[in-house]
Homo-oligomer: A and B are copies of this chain.
Amino acid sequence: MSHLNLLVGGPTSGWPEQLTAGKVSGDWIGVDRGTLRLLKMGITPLVAIGDFDSLSADELHQVKTAVSDIRQAIPEKDETDTELAVTVALKEFQYDRLDIYGATGGRLDHFLANLWLVLKPRYRDFAPQIRFIDQTNTITFFLPGDYTIKKEADKKYLAFIPLEKVDGLTLVDEKYTLDHENVPYPISYASNEFVGETGQFSFESGLLAVIQSKD
């Protein structure tokens, strides 16, 4: 399993501890201000993505000096920076997994654009490879199937979140169970919990997010 990390430009206050402490291993891509933040942590990203129009001339110079592969999303293709990063990471570089940091906190229009990226037909198949990580949440995505997931040691709550119409949602062994529930529109089944160290669930159609979180 090879994995790549992506840092987008959300507030550093939302970062998980291990990122603030510089303890996230692996290669990086930076988006916009995320690139500058990586450089400041002594990390040179493989690729920098963005128009960098929020950076000063000095900051832009730093980015251009340090990073050899700089790219811009094509607005005409209705593509966001994060989407281009997903394409580069999972399609071009063919990493198995992409962990996205810096996507929460601050502007909610950005968060929702990032969260819903997996609903777009051209990214849908990549959903299971994408993970969002912040201080209190880990978001993963699932296509129809039967799954057993592991509890993260530092998280308490478990949420099942149909991002669209989902049929046959079954929560087998969680604190609150469901039996072939047909969910007609997005719902966040929040505040569920693992009973043991794993949780089993299945569904027949649609796209499901799972969030493990703590207070």
Contacts and interface: CB of A to CB of B under 8 A. Distances in A.
Contacts of A108: 104, 134, 136-137, 139, 159, 211, 213
Q: Which of A119, A134, A215 has the most CB of B within 10 A?
A: A215
A36 B174 CA distance: 31
A215 B53 CA distance: 13
A161 interface: yes
30 contacts: A13-B13, A54-B215, A80-B190, A104-B108, A105-B105, A107-B190, A107-B211, A107-B215, A108-B159, A108-B211, A108-B213, A109-B137, A109-B157, A109-B189, A109-B190, A109-B211, A109-B213, A110-B188, A110-B190, A112-B161, A112-B186, A113-B188, A113-B190, A116-B186, A116-B187, A119-B186, A119-B187, A120-B185, A164-B185, A186-B186
Q: Which 9 pairs, one residue from A and one from B, show the smallest C-beta to C-beta distance?
A: A109-B159, A109-B190, A112-B188, A113-B188, A107-B213, A108-B137, A113-B190, A119-B185, A109-B211
